[in-house]
Structure 1
Amino acid sequence: MESFVIKTPCSSANIGPGFDVIGLALSVYLELHVTIDRSKTKSEHPLNCRVTYEGQGEESGDISLDPQNNLITRVALYVLRCHDQRSFPVETHVHIKNPIPLGRGLGSSGAAVVAGVMLGKEVGGLHHLDQDRLFDYCLMIERHPDNVGAALFGGFVGTYLMPLKPEDASRVEIPLSEVLPAPAGGVDTGKRPPEPPHGIGHHIKFPWNKEIKAVAIIPDFIVPTHDARAVLPPNYQRTDVVFNLQRIALLPVALGQSPPDPELINLAMQDKVHQPYRQTLIPGLCEIVEAMSPKTTPGFLGVCLSGAGPTILALALSNFEDIANQIIATLRKHNENKNLDCKWLVLEPAEGTHVVRSS
């Protein structure tokens, strides 16, 4: 009996002015508890894989336990089929423990994709696949390099994609139905799916001052990424683009300095590319961004939308509860539901996806 655990952190993307560029891995981990019973010669489960689940969305009925439809196992199957392995080893059990809130801007789908790619590598014995090559596989499925880059490599990262063909650049991501043999989840055609090109994406790790914590305020509603993208304009004013470029040049330096400079961080966290347009989806966002400053709120450094939202991410040195309560009060004031349920967590940068094997 072989057993191991894959741990993948959640992530916050679009940090400050870093829309689609900068991501931060945070200390809430998706875990896959995997066992492979090699004493068995056949399995009664589809693709030799039994999937079980506990955690966020468990009662919703939205989480498929069919390995042909579950995002994590489908991604693993893509990696396996690129290496001429048609199914999981007999007999594989994947137990998913997921504390990452779904659809809240904390990279739940990015974590699932990264964990799935690592699952494919581990069960397939594909030890030649290094982290950079795994990144290529992730980016075939999830075209947001800031989320998957943070979840895979950990820490505070800048990411970019190599120039794409025009037909690829017009799409947000490549659906799994195209990379898995068609019909997806149906008859196994035996076709080998297209492998990713080498070097689709690249990343760099930025330094992070360990005094700085991330306070995540998680409101109880969902903002689908598609809706959050739909409100963005097709073109931008040059002044707004320059505004973001000026700040993105400062932010990685500001967050790595010791001691941290609260005023510099607060200024460097400003954005004009996505947050003003997403205010309609997250009432109170602009008021939070405009009202909070290091001068008025002790311990506060800066605030931004986490990913597509609705989670708000505040960077702080101390006074975490007061900062969270101030943000929650503003969200409730501007929301139709004045008793909007909000949770908050104090998080720190997390290590990247890794495998823990029992000795």
Structure 2
Amino acid sequence: MHLIRVPCSSANIGPGFDVIGLALSMHLELRVSIDRNAPSTPDNPLNCTVSYSGVGADSIDLNPENNLLTRTALYVLRCHNQHHFPGQTSVHISNPIPLGRGLGSSGAAVVAGVLLGNVVGDLNLSKPRLLDFALMVERHPDNVAAALYGGFVGTYLNELDPQDMARKEVPLSEVLPEPAGGIDTGLTPPIPPENIGHYRRFNWAKEIKALAIIPDFEVSTAKAREVLPKSYSRQDMIFNLQRLALLTTVLSDSPPDPELIYSAMQDKIHQPYRATLIPALPAILSSMSPKTHKGLLGICLSGAGPTILALATENFEAIADVIMARFKDEGISCQWKILEPAEDGATLQEVPGDVETYRIEIGSK
């Protein structure tokens, strides 16, 4: 049996819109077993069954032709001339990551799907190549690179060679055709160019933890993008660039400097516009600082929201209570979690039986 674990992630972290991401210690898990000698059956042509436990269980499609995770795995397999899962493959998904809350649930699912395709197809892809495949499905390198590699990362997408430019924005429908990845045309889907994106890990001070306050409503990434302007003033761009240049360094300082981190986490690119989608956000950002709340270092939207990420060194419950009270004033309930950087990123283990567990480095045998 194979065990795949992929952390959730928080993107943007204040001024780092579409640039920086942080893997956090809440993991999507897959338990995968394969009977390679079992034949295909007419009622299961993809040779795969999916089960699920965790958040949103009532809304998750367990058909392997439709599920994002198994469709992603099929994409990887079909790029390598394997048109279905081997033998009879069973995949159990255990997911604690809230859906549509800005904690990288789709990025984690895509990374898990790429790893699933890699392991069941016996492909032995390197981590950079796994990133290429993930970026063909999920176009947010900050979330995807954080989930795959772990830790606190900066990312960018390459400008591709002219012959590859047509594939830079391959429609998702070509990579994961609708309806269902199970409709097999026999054709090879668009294969990712190499080195679509790059990442760099930054250091993270051991004292800093991430307090996630998770409101009980969803904000779709598409809707959160729609409220953003088509262009920005030079002043606003410089404002964010100045702070981003400091943020990736000051978050590594030990002991942390609360005032400097708080200042470096200010943003004028996405949070002011997304406030219309998250009623409590303006009050939270304007009323909380290291001067007003002991232990607080900085506060921001996690990804597209509505989750609020508060970086802090202590006093976590008191900080969470204040933020939740702001949401309660708007009639919104919340939960909160203390999370730490997930330094290992996505991992693959083999579990012989249910006793011994040993680790396999992804991309090597």
TM-score by length of 2: 0.92
* Correspondence for 2:298: 302
Task: Give the 3 Å change call, closer, same or farther, for CA 209–305 of structure 1 in structure 2.
Answer: same
- List aligned pairs for 1:247-262, cutoff 5 A: 247-262=243-258
Structure 2 residue ranges without an equivalent (≥5): 353-365
* Correspondence for 2:131: 135
For the residue of structure 2 that corresponds to 1:21, the secondary structure is strand
* Correspondence for 2:99: 102
Which amino acid is the alignment partner of residue 179 of structure 1? V
Pick which of 201-210 and 169-178 moved more: 169-178
Task: Check if 1:347 corresponds to 2:353.
Answer: no
- List aligned pairs for 1:218-237, cutoff 5 A: 218-237=214-233
Cα distance in 2 for partners of 1:186, 1:25 equals 31
- List aligned pairs for 1:297-336, cutoff 5 A: 297-333=293-329, 335=330
- List aligned pairs for 1:123-202, cutoff 5 A: 123-127=120-124, 129-163=125-159, 174-180=170-176, 184-185=180-181, 187-202=183-198
Task: Check if 1:205 corresponds to 2:201.
Answer: yes
Which amino acid is the alignment partner of residue 200 of structure 2? I
For the residue of structure 2 that corresponds to 1:51, the secondary structure is strand
Q: After TM superposition, give the deviation of residue 39 of structure 1 in Å.
A: 3.5
Cα distance in 2 for partners of 1:355, 1:49 equals 19
Cα distance in 1 for partners of 2:335, 2:113 equals 28
Task: Check if 1:24 corresponds to 2:17.
Answer: no
Cα distance in 2 for partners of 1:349, 1:314 equals 13
Task: Give the 3 Å change call, closer, same or farther, for CA 236–181 of structure 1 in structure 2.
Answer: closer
8 Å CA contact 1:181, 1:188 repeated in 2: no
RMSD: 2.0
Q: After TM superposition, give the deviation of residue 164 of structure 1 in Å.
A: 5.3
Which amino acid is the alignment partner of residue 263 of structure 1? E
8 Å CA contact 1:56, 1:98 repeated in 2: yes
Q: After TM superposition, give the deviation of residue 183 of structure 1 in Å.
A: 6.4
- List aligned pairs for 1:66-77, cutoff 5 A: 66-77=63-74
CA offsets per residue over residues 236-264 of structure 1, 9 Å max, x none?
A: 01111000000000001100011110110
Which amino acid is the alignment partner of residue 56 of structure 1? V
8 Å CA contact 2:74, 2:181 repeated in 1: no
For the residue of structure 1 that corresponds to 2:40, the secondary structure is coil
Aligned residues: 350
CA offsets per residue over residues 250-289 of structure 1, 9 Å max, x none?
A: 0011000111101100001110000000000001212211
Task: Check if 1:57 corresponds to 2:49.
Answer: no
Structure 1 residue ranges without an equivalent (≥5): none
Cα distance in 1 for partners of 2:149, 2:133 equals 14
For the residue of structure 2 that corresponds to 1:143, the secondary structure is coil
Task: Give the 3 Å change call, closer, same or farther, for CA 51–285 of structure 1 in structure 2.
Answer: same
Cα distance in 2 for partners of 1:346, 1:182 equals 38
TM-score by length of 1: 0.93
For the residue of structure 1 that corresponds to 2:17, the secondary structure is coil
Which amino acid is the alignment partner of residue 13 of structure 2? I
Task: Give the 3 Å change call, closer, same or farther, for CA 221–254 of structure 1 in structure 2.
Answer: same
Q: After TM superposition, give the deviation of residue 45 of structure 1 in Å.
A: 2.0
* Correspondence for 2:9: 11
Which amino acid is the alignment partner of residue 252 of structure 2? G
Identity across the alignment (%): 64
Cα distance in 2 for partners of 1:12, 1:211 equals 18
